[in-house]
Amino acid sequence: MRNLPWKKIIMRTLWIMLGVAAMVFFVMAWREKDKKRIKEIQVQIAGEETQLFINERDIKEMLKAGGHIIGAEMSSLNLSAIEKKVAGNPWVKKAEIYYTNKQVLHVLIEERIPVARIFTPGGASFYLDSTGLRLPLSEKVVARVPMFTGFPSDRPVLSKPDSLLLKEVVTLGQFLNKDSLWGAQIAQVDITPQAIFELVPVIGDHIIALGKATDLEQKFLRLQTFYKQAWMQKGVRFYERIDIRYKDQVVAIKQGTAKAQIDSAKSALLIQGLMAQPALDAAAAADTMAAKAAATIASKPAAKPAPKVDPKPAPKVAAKVVDTVQQKAKPKPVINIDNKTKIAPLNNKAKKNSKTTKKTNN
């Protein structure tokens, strides 16, 4: 029989027993840990310290709403469900919850940071974060972010043009927030019905036509250059409108010029309207008369249709010839020998006999 290496067998057996004992100890420790109860809750919020729209107290109240946390067994906590509940707050971007051997429940919160505040024509107002998510107004603090007025819709689901406009608002808001100079100079951003941006500055009585939220660095660089050159010569209140939409140029309009152009255009339109008014009145009168005639015809009963007659060729009529007849003069009465009136005149033979008779009598 072959001699077995008893020493190696004994060492392997000891290592196996040690591993089993470690596993048993670990399971017992884990079970003992599960039986432990939460003694403390620690909340950590990652965000701007000067603008906390959600605080530790708000988080703890949300946790209490789902049941008592302090004193609950660790094994009884559904950490995944708690995370979903906390993340349901609109100001919470991300939530992570776990507990340690020291019986402490840790809650890590990443807060949403607004980049713009929106005002709609209907009177609604809300914040936007960097992802374009709408955030409600907070009673705790007012965010110092750019204000955008004239956003066309406050519906939960936006149309495609409004969604694209919302992305431009986020882009412009982030740019103004990152630049301390323009963030302090621009007081308000107006959105026109044509979906372009106009800036209202803090210093100066002018409007800045920005256009779309594209090439922002180049546009604001042109504006900064214009400020340095023009304001040194004319002052901050000399211009009424500054247009920075066009590449490599700035179009500035001095005070009063734009109003004069608008008044001239309005006057021209008014004159054209007055000249066109008589024609419009005549056309309206004609339309009124035509409408009345149509109404009268419509009110009368419809006439019976005439019976159909087969068309026959018309008979030919001979031309009638009219002779011209001269009217004879009215005969004069003649008194003869017998003192009798004769209407008809005497012929030549009668005249001779009459003459012969007269001579015989003489």
Domain ranges, residue 78: 40-111
In this prediction, residues 344-354 reach a mean pLDDT of 51
Neighbours of 224 (CB within 10 A): 14
The last residue of a domain, from among 59, 93, 111: 111
The last residue of a domain, from among 259, 274, 296: 259
Query: pLDDT by residue (tens digit) across 186-215?
Result: 999 999 999 999 999 998 889 999 999 999
Quick one: 126 and 173 in the same domain? Answer: yes
Query: pLDDT by residue (tens digit) across 44-55?
Result: 988 765 567 888
Report the side by side order of strands in the sheet with 134-135. Answer: 134-135, 125-129, 114-119, 147-149, 186-191, 197-201, 207-211, 239-243, 251-254
- Between CA 258 and CA 267 the distance in angstroms is 14
Quick one: 202 and 107 in the same domain? Answer: no
Taking the mean position of all CA atoms in its chain, how far away is CA 153? 8
Q: Is 160 among the domain residues? A: yes
- pLDDT-based confidence at 318, cuts 50/70/90? very low
Half-sphere exposure (Cβ direction) of 297: Cα atoms closer than 13 Å: 6
Quick one: 44 and 131 in the same domain? Answer: no
Quick one: 194 and 146 in the same domain? Answer: yes
Residue 299's DSSP bridge partners are none
Q: Is 66 helix (H, G, I), strand (E, B) or coil?
A: coil
- pLDDT on residue 107: 93
Q: Is 340 among the domain residues? A: no
Half-sphere exposure (Cβ direction) of 83: Cα atoms closer than 13 Å: 13
Q: Is 329 among the domain residues? A: no
Residue type, 335: I
Quick one: 203 and 91 in the same domain? Answer: no
- pLDDT on residue 64: 84
- pLDDT on residue 324: 35
CA dihedral sign of residues 277, 282, 287, 292: positive
Range in 33-37, 237-241, 255-259, 262-266 with the lowest mean pLDDT: 262-266
Residue 134's DSSP bridge partners are 128
- pLDDT on residue 65: 80
Q: Is the pLDDT confidence value at 183 over 60?
A: yes
Across all residues in the chain, what is the average pLDDT? 76
Q: Is 244 among the domain residues? A: yes
- Between CA 22 and CA 15 the distance in angstroms is 10
User: What's the whole-model pTM score?
Assistant: 0.61
- pLDDT-based confidence at 101, cuts 50/70/90? confident
- The secondary structure of 194-233 as a DSSP string is TS-EEEEESSSS-EEEEESSSSHHHHHHHHHHHHHHHHHH
Q: Is 35 among the domain residues? A: no
- pLDDT-based confidence at 119, cuts 50/70/90? very high
- pLDDT on residue 72: 85
Q: What CATH number corresponds to the domain at position 161?
A: 3.40.50.11690
Joined together, the tokens standing for residue 190 give: 């107006």
- pLDDT-based confidence at 282, cuts 50/70/90? low
Q: Is the pLDDT confidence value at 300 over 60?
A: no
Cβ atoms of 237 and 259 within 8 Å: the answer is no
Quick one: 106 and 222 in the same domain? Answer: no
Quick one: 93 and 181 in the same domain? Answer: no
- Between CA 154 and CA 281 the distance in angstroms is 43
Quick one: 103 and 120 in the same domain? Answer: no
Residue type, 110: E
Residue 107's DSSP bridge partners are 43, 97
The residue whose two tokens read 């000067």 is 50
Number of domains making up the chain: 2
